Chains A and B, each alone.
Chain A
């Protein structure tokens, strides 16, 4: 696996660094706002710890390609280039939010970015990904669907039926499992007969992609670039990225306070496998005198996030007209 930064240009790597830091800071700010009761929704699943997976994978797509994910969706929206302001406004349930304040944290989408959304029924979006990919085949176009999911999404019927149909119909889908080893509170060993999830590809006669280090954005990008190229010309691929969630299942997850083993595991990932540190070290090793540029990005991103908070706070709430609008296409 090429982790040599010299094979990639500095501009690209700095862009990924910017995105990863943006997601981290955005999520930290969401966490604060939740505890300040400014984000009041009951569900808030932060992407902290996963950043390199989303950024590396989405960077492998073209503009015409499509992205879907589950409920841990903030980072994917940001990686796809959706502006932080309407995303933060959605967190606060504002009319200016990407989903008009009607979707909330788990239902971010931007049609203009071919970001088809975060979906909160575990694995439900896999079936939609299959249908979107079918449309590409039907029209004879070559766009690809990237469908991200957690390890918890691999054990219900949606996973089986969607992956099988994608293989039977030979659809251009990259199935990407973000394996953080725990689905809500259940460990992977207790939920999956085959915890090496990428091996599931064999059952569907589908191309088995790699099991990559999800904390290394360069590795993720390389693996997904290959997978995307395969899907575009041939058919579905299953890839697994190993990662870790820093903020629990959702912000209300209390198990890390109560369990020493989980706390140690989390500390270990943060200390040794943090995606920001890994990329930073790659950049420092690869490019002399880059510290100042990284510090500048950190500051700029901070301002982007603060601006998004100001925008969201100043935005109006939805109205009665919004409540009753879009139930049906008018």
Chain B
């Protein structure tokens, strides 16, 4: 089997092309997905390949982008709707939470919503307070919706293909900082199942739990710690819903220590949830407090120096680990 080094945006693009070729009910819609070639270039060339019928540019109307995609999915299509950045998904949230996530249940299974909403997520580049959100955990709060948060190009491709084929609505977030980062991707088709986390690095001293971009910091931190003789196990959850914590519990029973690494905010957070579930499931195995590394509890400012101050990074993960590994 041959494989190639492919950046995440190209891996995602390949997933879209493969699924559109495989299934005529799959179509792409969103702001600038067509003639602009995609704000993040994930939909580059799709308009030329599939035409205006299947690559639908929309007005700047995040609410109806999500809502119309829900309706089209209920009616039997498989929309892949792009919300240019997840910051704008706050304008779509009623369609996502009150409709996409609810109609299957509320009408007792009469309607399915095989929908994917893709949204670029994350901060950096001084995007400022309104354009720097990572609110994946907010969406993961609600039953009825899946939330996919890949950490690398390989996972992103397999997860997007699975999300498109699944009969449930999926919010699929793509870390902007990862778009250019490559993974080795096989030429042959592969799928990554819904709700399966993945141990990205083995280690016996501490468990690092993360998803999306946090996995990168965790792996970087693990490499730094290894130089000091501390071996970290890194669990990439990949999906915040369905949440697969079994590998976390297993790892924790071995390491007895855990640091949760998240790009998002600390208040009512992903880290809070993991810590709560860990102490319930594995209290007897706990040798130290569960630590959380997250963004600071502030709106993100413009100036680079203080923006970076507010954000997590590998060094902060290393520092947190050293507080509990002694």
CB distance from B226 to the nearest CB of A (A): 40
Residue A329 interfacial (CB < 8 Å)? yes
Give Cα distance in the complex from A130 to B98, angstroms.
17
Q: Is the CB of A135 within 8 A of B110?
A: no
Q: Given A128-B70, A128-B74 in contact, is the A325-B63 Cβ separation under 8 Å?
A: no
CB distance from A61 to the nearest CB of B (A): 16
Specify the chain B residue showing the minimal Cβ separation from A140: B53
Q: Is the CB of B104 within 8 A of A329?
A: yes
Residue B143 interfacial (CB < 8 Å)? yes
Q: Is the CB of A124 within 8 A of B110?
A: no
* B107 CB contact (under 8 Å) in A107, A130, A135, A327: A107
Which of A14-22, A154-162, A243-251 is the contact stretch? A154-162
Q: Is the CB of B112 within 8 A of A131?
A: no
Residue A168 interfacial (CB < 8 Å)? yes
Q: What is the 8 Å Cβ interface bit string for chain A, positions 101-127, against chain B (1 contact, 0 not)?
A: 111000101110000110101001011
Please give, as numbers and ranges, the residues of chain B lying within 8 Å of A107 by CB-CB distance.
Answer: 106-107
Residue B125 interfacial (CB < 8 Å)? no
CB distance from B108 to the nearest CB of A (A): 3
Residue A75 interfacial (CB < 8 Å)? no
Q: What is the 8 Å Cβ interface bit string for chain B, positions 127-151, against chain A (1 contact, 0 not)?
A: 0000000000000000110100000
Please give, as numbers and ranges, the residues of chain A lying within 8 Å of B106 by CB-CB distance.
Answer: 99, 102-103, 107
Specify the chain B residue showing the minimal Cβ separation from A328: B168
Residue B316 interfacial (CB < 8 Å)? no
Q: Is the CB of A110 within 8 A of B110?
A: yes
Q: Given A110-B110, A135-B72 in contact, is the A164-B59 Cβ separation under 8 Å?
A: yes
Residue A165 interfacial (CB < 8 Å)? yes
Residue B41 interfacial (CB < 8 Å)? no
- Could you show 26 A-B contacts with beta carbons less than 8 Å apart? A102-B105, A102-B108, A110-B110, A117-B111, A119-B99, A121-B94, A127-B67, A127-B68, A127-B95, A128-B67, A128-B70, A130-B68, A131-B67, A131-B72, A134-B71, A134-B72, A134-B77, A135-B76, A136-B75, A161-B61, A161-B64, A164-B61, A165-B58, A165-B59, A327-B144, A328-B144
Please give, as numbers and ranges, the residues of chain B lying within 8 Å of A327 by CB-CB distance.
Answer: 104-105, 143-144
Q: Given A116-B74, A168-B59 in contact, is the A131-B68 Cβ separation under 8 Å?
A: yes
Residue B103 interfacial (CB < 8 Å)? yes
* B63 CB contact (under 8 Å) in A110, A127, A322: A127
Residue B167 interfacial (CB < 8 Å)? yes
CB distance from A83 to the nearest CB of B (A): 15
Give Cα distance in the complex from A158 to B63, angstroms.
7
Q: Is the CB of B74 within 8 A of A131?
A: yes
9 nearest A-B pairs in the assembled complex, by CB-CB distance: A131-B71, A127-B67, A100-B108, A128-B71, A161-B64, A135-B75, A131-B72, A131-B68, A329-B167
Please give, as numbers and ranges, the residues of chain A lying within 8 Å of B67 by CB-CB distance.
Answer: 124, 126-128, 130-131, 158, 161-162
Q: Is the CB of B70 within 8 A of A127?
A: yes
Q: Is the CB of B99 within 8 A of A128?
A: yes
Give Cα distance in the complex from A102 to B94, angstroms.
20
Please give, as numbers and ranges, the residues of chain A lying within 8 Å of B63 by CB-CB distance.
Answer: 127, 157-158, 161
Residue B219 interfacial (CB < 8 Å)? no
* A124 CB contact (under 8 Å) in B61, B77, B99, B111: B99
- Contacts A107-B106, A128-B99 known; 14 new A-B pairs at CB < 8 A: A98-B107, A99-B108, A102-B107, A107-B107, A124-B67, A124-B98, A124-B99, A130-B71, A131-B79, A132-B71, A158-B63, A164-B61, A327-B105, A329-B109
Please give, as numbers and ranges, the residues of chain B lying within 8 Å of A169 by CB-CB distance.
Answer: 56
Q: Is the CB of A127 within 8 A of B107?
A: no
Please give, as numbers and ranges, the residues of chain A lying within 8 Å of B69 by CB-CB distance.
Answer: 131
Please give, as numbers and ranges, the residues of chain A lying within 8 Å of B108 by CB-CB distance.
Answer: 98-103, 322, 326
CB distance from B128 to the nearest CB of A (A): 24
Please give, as numbers and ranges, the residues of chain A lying within 8 Å of B79 by CB-CB distance.
Answer: 131
Please give, as numbers and ranges, the residues of chain B lying within 8 Å of A103 by CB-CB distance.
Answer: 106-108
Specify the chain A residue showing the minimal Cβ separation from B100: A128
Q: Is the CB of A127 within 8 A of B71?
A: yes
Q: Given A127-B64, A135-B77 in contact, is the A326-B104 Cβ separation under 8 Å?
A: yes
Q: What is the 8 Å Cβ interface bit string for chain B, positions 38-71, against chain A (1 contact, 0 not)?
A: 0000000000000001001011010110111111
Give Cα distance in the complex from A162 to B66, angstroms.
11
Please give, as numbers and ranges, the residues of chain A lying within 8 Å of B53 by CB-CB distance.
Answer: 138
Q: Is the CB of A165 within 8 A of B64?
A: yes
Specify the chain B residue showing the minimal Cβ separation from A158: B63
Q: Given A102-B108, A138-B77, A329-B104 in contact, is the A131-B59 Cβ separation under 8 Å?
A: no
CB distance from B194 to the nearest CB of A (A): 9
Give Cα distance in the complex from A196 to B73, angstroms.
34
Residue B27 interfacial (CB < 8 Å)? yes
Residue A129 interfacial (CB < 8 Å)? yes
Within 8 A of B (CB), among A136-186: 136, 138, 157-158, 161-162, 164-165, 168-169
CB distance from A306 to the nearest CB of B (A): 25
Please give, as numbers and ranges, the residues of chain B lying within 8 Å of A165 by CB-CB distance.
Answer: 58-59, 61, 64, 68
